[in-house]
Structure 1
Amino acid sequence: MFDSIHQVRQAMDLFLNSYTAECEALLLPKRNASMYHSLGYAFILSLKAILTYQRVDIEAALDAMKHAYLVADKLRKRDSFWKNTAHSLISTYSIQEIKEMTPIQRHAELVFAETYLMKAGLQIVYEESFVAFLREGIKMHTSHQIYKGLERYLLHVQKEASLGKDIMEYGMDAHLASGIAFGMGCFNLALSMLPEFVLKLAEFVGFQGDRGLGMWYLKSIGGWDAYNKNEKQKQRMAPELQKPQEGLRRQFCDMMLMMYNIVLAKLTPVSHVDLPLSDLILQYNLKLYPQGMVFLTLNGRRLATQRQLSEAKIYYQKAIDSQDYMKQLHHISYWELGFIALLEQDWKKAHQLFQKLNKESNWSKAVYTYLQGMALYLYATHDMNPGDSRKQLILKSAELMALVTKAKQKIAGKSIFIEKFVARKSRKFELQGNRLLFPDLEIIHAFSGLEMLTVPLMRKNLDRINAMLIRLSSSHSFYVYDDISLCHFLRASILRQLLEQDDDGNVVEWKEMQRESIRIVMALADKIQLDHWLYYFTIYEEALMLMMEGDYDQARKKILYLLQRTEKHDFNVGAGQRAKNKYSMENALILKCHNCLGVITELSS
């Protein structure tokens, strides 16, 4: 078995360094005979399925996952039917029972749990129904139960080792430990992101959502927990490069830490953020995998979130150039480059990139179509002189906007919030006679990208907004209060970030302008016809400003108010019947609010 693990480790190293074809060549010959080769091959197919979103690829990945967990299941410890059923649904193996297993049986438990969980997640995406979500949720619970039993075993062995006892008899090798830590780390981290009322329900049926524990598991496998304890060590060089016998899932633990700190922490405020450590982990992995598309892309994202947009584009292009075998991996970089083009107001480049994604990627045709149409509209209205050519491009953008609503998809029987948002925007485009106000800033905000604006771009956009507010003061449009509110919401958000980044600005004036914009949105809220989300997101923006100023009590009150509106289903803000309905991107805001409370607690303690 350990020979197979070492060979799969070689395959994963090839994959992480962008040698995907060579990785598959190592895995494929033994996928029917070896549990770990089967797991590795299923992982590669699953990644391909997620990237292509083609039903044929998803079906192939589901078959590979099923084969992998059946291979693992044959190697698991065999008890009576009733005892096996109890272990799957109610209880878990005791520490003594796991100790009595052979090494292969312990690894079979882990691989079965991994593949059973991955197949369940992929099945939900494939079937797009709520029934599938419930059915596969039971399988996820089964997987979690197995992980919980293995977790207790791991913690027991670690305790014994801390007491100076000989732990050889427990057979806790680095590959098993890394797998348990990765699984429990991901479970704890993912569940801790859920709103409190959902988390309580999950914990009631046996799940666990402890973010601190999840982070500890993920750090411990790479030895990063030691760096976390000693602040001075963060300034030192990274540890020596890993050896072949290190845990098979070690790099995936590292990737989760980087994804949390570099990507997720920029999408929503979260606690337990450690940017210096994540930078150290990223540089360590770039030394190991200099051609690794994953790590090159993460470095591009890191630079973009630090407002180093030119440098970020270089790394995204390096990620694209690193491999051609699985071209769908390029789409991640094209997406990021498309948003940088929007930030830099390079509408033509943005249109080209989103057009390419619309042709080649199946992830969200609704979003790609909207972004392509929006970029074309901005190019026509900003970069072209009035005339027939400009009119033709606006009509072409209108044709694209008309396709957005029909392109929506569902996951677990539910519409995707961002697809619902762009569908509403495309309908508003038509309602307003092929016109939208600041659609670039609006969609950048929806993807939490305004914080990537450089200071010159912030100032440039402030000038755009202030000029538009002067024009709107004499407008008689039916949607004028929507437009004025959008302007002030965007101005409040950009001013808050300017106050964080620009030391040369007029702080007193900017603070007053920011407060004024928030007051105006609150005053106009009952006159908003369509964009009722502006009222709720402006309150959230006000809470962020209060946090920046250190007024955590008032910030907490604002966040709790937003959470209560959802709990009580109280949305009666705005004009017309639609004001009584849920607002756009509500689920996204509730997740932000839930995690924001954790940040407030962390900052105020």
Structure 2
Amino acid sequence: MAHVSNGSPAEEEDCFEDAFDRIPAACQMDLRTAIQETQCALNLVLNNRFSEALDLLKPWSKDSMYHALGYSSILVMQATMTFEQRDIQAAMTTIKEALNTCQRFRKRNSMVGSLLSKQSNLQEEEMHAELCYAECLLQKATLTFVQDENMISFIKGGIKIRTSHQIYKDCQNVLSSNHVDGQSDAFRQFEGGVKLGVGSFNLMLSLLPQRILRLLEFIGFSGNRRFGLSQLREGAANQSLRSILCALTLLFYNTYVSLILGTGEGNLEEAEALLEPYQNKYPKGSLILFYSARILTLRGQLEKAVSRFEECIRSQSEWRQIHHLCYWELMWTHSFQQEWVEAYHYAQLLCAESRWSKAIYVYQKAAILSMMSEEEAKKTGENIVELFRQVEGLKQRLAGKSIPTEKFAVRKSRRYKATNPVPLVLPALEMMYVWNGFTIVGKRADFTEALLVTIEKAEEKLREDPNPSEYHPDDSCLVQMLKGLCLKHLGRPLQAELCFTQVISSERRIRYDHYLVPFTLYELGLLHKQQGDFARAASYIENAKTNYKDYSMESRLHFRIHAALNSLKGSPVSTP
């Protein structure tokens, strides 16, 4: 908050942590005061008082780099969650102003690459200005990707990311030099910001498949996962303004990234330890409740997770976007339990309220309706065929390209364009797999057994079909892959392997769903890894990586393959 006290340690501590009710206006704004006020704004955000946080930051947003950064950060977060054009435009205007504010505090004539040579005489404000400028550039790059469809905007965003990356590298050199006072509070705050930026970049880049990473390394990017995680962990522990941002980055990595783009082996013990102090400090904070519920989901404690997500929704009403995140999670937690009526309810809310991806929401709603009994589906008043037919017209584009999950949904829904459409088989379970949901269901034998029963009913129906359609081989292979996943999680590896090998041996019969074979090879590799046969595991995963291309969700599988091969390194038999 504003620096209006007499400076006693106890008074500062109260101001720093607990002053949420009344924020006096500052009469001056030095670096220390700016950081304190921004911390108070962050506390307000974490206590669901978003408007008050903006009101605190706005008066000084054109005169203080930290107020500018904090103000733009909140608006950027809102814009990326709403996808509303007016929110995106307001955030873009604010971020440009924030960059101008930060620029005024940077060393005169500062240029990327020249900072290192000037490190010996950088002042505190100039050090922090470089840091805030780099963060603002990242925000602008994010908005550039969201705002526009054309490739020029995509390239512009990439250039901003590269500039930001270089500034962080230079800041890290400043950090390790002998020319700065490592004991001051300003240095500790600077250190926290560098660890957030360097750690996030290294972690993000390390997730990329090797072929992409090699190209990026050629133009100056580098990514070391172990180093990135260590920087973020140190940043989370150093009690700076950005400590919770480091913690939230680690939480996002452990609860989402490692599941969707990895093998599903997030560090839940670390996630719980990171979250615990903030649960005590912000017990009703919606972001904290959300991650708490997500961890319960990943633990397989789905009933508790549903209750916690509902509590998160009740905790605030100012930002409906957080409700939408909860609706998405509730749709899946109910789907994992095959509570299709409840899952439909949240899919319907997402269709009605959220602008993130109408194509995915409508496809998901239709897929869930397909899993219901005829009587249940009829009660909703929805026409499943018409819903699937809407999907293609709702597709969005980013940087001139379609979003992979939307392309997948569009391609699958084309079966309904025919006069006599051939219904999809288990479409909700197929999408569950796309989002790696079977690793969650697999934590619960009861729900996995129930899914297996549903899958075996579909298997029997296909087997007894008197007039198999052109999609029959594809549908049969999908069912076998899903069945194999359930059997793997139920500890029946030999039966699971039989299902997976049946898909692979049917490769030449598959006409449309060519993604099934490389994904099944990957799953067969994970099955052998689970059994300790690392050589065979690496062989199957490398086969999926090397011998298949131009199939649905290819990039997503390559992310997962990269994570799987990394996890095999250091095993008794290394990957090739």
Same fold at TM > 0.5: yes
- SS class of match (1:532): coil
Residues in 2 aligned to 1:459 and 1:152: alpha-carbon distance in whole angstroms = 55
> 2:468 aligned with 1:477, yes or no?
yes
Match of 2:334 among 333, 341, 345: 341
- DSSP 3-state at the match of 1:173: helix
| C-alpha distance after superposition, 1:524-563 (max 9, x if no partner) | 1211121111111111110110110111111112222222
Between the aligned partners of 1:596 and 1:511, the Cα distance in structure 2 is 19
CA contact (8 A) 2:363 2:409 kept: yes
Q: 1:153 to 1:534 in 2, by over 3 A?
A: same
The answer on whether the counterparts of 1:398 and 1:434 sit within 8 Å (CA) in structure 2 is: no
After superposition, what is the alpha-carbon deviation per residue over 1:148-173, rounded to whole angstroms, capped at 9, x for unaligned? 1101121335xx99xxxx745x9862
User: In 2, Cα distance between the equivalents of 1:463 and 1:310?
Assistant: 21
C-alpha distance after superposition, 1:476-522 (max 9, x if no partner): 312221121111100111111111xxxxxxxxxx3222121112111
Distance in 2 (CA, whole Å) between partners of 1:348 and 1:434 is: 23
2:141 matches 1:120: yes
> Is residue 449 from structure 1 mapped to residue 463 from structure 2 by the alignment?
no
Q: Give 1:528's aligned residue.
A: 510
Q: Distance in 1 between matches of 2:66 and 2:182?
A: 25
Aligned 1:251-400 pairs, distance under 5 A = 251-269=244-262, 274-381=267-374, 383=376, 389=378, 393=381, 396-400=383-387
Give the aligned residue type for 2:468: S
Deviation of 1:275 (Å): 2.8
CA separation in 1, counterparts of 2:511 and 2:265? 39
Among 29, 33, 42, which residue is 2:59 paired with? 29
Query: Aligned-pair distance for 1:32?
Result: 2.0
CA, structure 1 residues 186+101, in 2 after alignment: closer, same or farther (shift >3 Å)? same
Summarize the alignment of residues 124-523 of structure 1 with structure 2, pairs less than 5 Å apart.
124-156=145-177, 167=182, 173-223=187-237, 246-269=239-262, 274-381=267-374, 383=376, 389=378, 393=381, 396-431=383-418, 433=421, 435-453=423-441, 454-475=444-465, 476-478=467-469, 479-499=471-491, 510-523=492-505
With the length of structure 2 as denominator, give the TM-score of the two structures: 0.89
Residue in structure 2 matched with residue 41 of structure 1 by the alignment: 71
Seen in structure 2, the aligned counterparts of structure 1 residues 513 and 290 have a Cα distance that, compared at 3 Å, is same
Superposition TM-score, scaled by structure 1 size: 0.85
Q: For residues 257-287 of structure 1, what are the alpha-carbon distances to aligned partners after superposition, in whole Å with 9 as ceiling and x for unaligned?
A: 1111122222243699533222111112211
Structure 1 residue matching 2:464: 3-state secondary structure = coil
Mapped partners of 1:542, 1:167: distance in 2 = 51
Structure 2 residues not aligned, in runs of 5+: 1-30
* Aligned equivalents of 2:523, 2:375: Cα separation in 1: 29
Label 1:449 to 1:554 Cα distance change in 2 as closer, same or farther (>3 A): same
Aligned residue number for residue 93 of structure 1: 115
Separation in 2 of the partners of 1:134 and 1:267?
A: 26
1:404 aligned counterpart, secondary structure: helix
3-state DSSP of counterpart to 2:135 = helix
Alpha carbons of structure 1 residues 7 and 463: separation in structure 2 relative to 1, 3 Å: same
More displaced 10-residue stretch of structure 1: 19-28 or 6-15 = 19-28
Letter of the 1:64 partner, please give it. Answer: T
Residues 4-50 of structure 1: CA deviation (Å, up to 9, x unaligned) = 11011000011012121221221122212221111111011101101
- Asked if the contact 1:376/1:393 (under 8 Å) is kept, the reply is no
Q: What amino acid maps onto 1:5 in structure 2?
A: I
Q: How many residues align?
A: 538
The SS at the match of 1:307 is coil
Alignment partner of 1:601 out of 557, 569, 572: 569
Q: 1:5 aligns with which of 21, 26, 35?
A: 35
Q: 1:426, CA displacement in angstroms? A: 1.2
How far the C-alpha of 1:379 sits from its partner, in A, is 2.8
Q: Supply the distance in 1 between the matched residues of 2:86 and 2:570 (Cα, whole angstroms).
A: 46
Change beyond 3 A, Cα 1:317–1:383: same
Distance 1:519 1:273, change over 3 A: closer
The 1:271–1:102 alpha-carbon spacing in structure 2 relative to 1, beyond 3 Å, is: farther
- Asked whether the equivalents of residues 251 and 271 of structure 2 are also in contact (C-alpha less than 8 Å), the reply is yes
- % identical equivalent positions: 31
For residues 421 and 492 of structure 1, the distance between their equivalents in structure 2, rounded to whole angstroms, comes to: 22
- Write the distance in 2 (CA, Å) between the matches of 1:298 and 1:434: 40
Structure 1's unaligned 5+ residue stretches are 225-245, 500-509, 570-581
- Distance in 2, matches of 1:185 and 1:321, equals 34
Cα deviation for residue 434 of structure 1 reads 5.4
Given residue 310 of structure 1, which amino acid in structure 2 is its aligned partner?
Answer: E
State the alpha-carbon separation in 2 of the partners of residues 417 and 118 from structure 1: 23
Match of 2:28 in 1: none
Q: 1:272, 1:327 → 2: CA distance?
A: 31
Distance in 2, matches of 1:276 and 1:603, equals: 23
SS of residue matched to 2:506: helix
Say what the alpha-carbon RMSD is for the aligned residues: 2.1
SS at structure 1 position matched to 2:258: helix
Deviation at 1:203, TM superposition (A): 1.0
User: Which residue number in structure 1 is paired with residue 19 of structure 2?
Assistant: none
Please report how far the alpha carbon of residue 374 of structure 1 lies from its aligned counterpart in structure 2 after TM superposition: 2.1
> Which residue identity is paired with 2:140?
K
Distance 1:284 1:65 in 2: 31
Inter-partner Cα distance in structure 2 for 1:272 and 1:429? 37
Code of the aligned partner of 2:77: L
User: Are the equivalent residues in 1 in contact too, given 2:415–2:424 (CA < 8 A)?
Assistant: yes
Q: Secondary structure at the match of 2:490?
A: helix
Task: Assess if the C-alpha contact under 8 Å between 2:488 and 2:527 holds in 1.
Answer: yes
Q: Deviation of residue 603 (structure 1)?
A: 4.6
Distance 1:122 1:105 in 2: 26
**Bigger RCO of structures 1 and 2 (CA < 8 A, at least 6 apart):** 1
Q: Is the 8 A contact 2:268 2:295 kept in 1?
A: no
Structure 2 Cα separation of the partners of residues 527 and 595 of structure 1: 30
The AA in structure 1 aligned to 2:560 is K
Larger CA deviation: 337-346 vs 49-58: 337-346
Partner Cα distance (1:514, 1:130) in 2: 43
Whole-Å separation in 2 of the counterparts to 1:174 and 1:272 = 32
Alignment partners' CA distance in 2, 1:155 and 1:556:
39
Q: Which amino acid aligns with 2:57?
A: L
Counterpart in the other structure of 1:590: 558
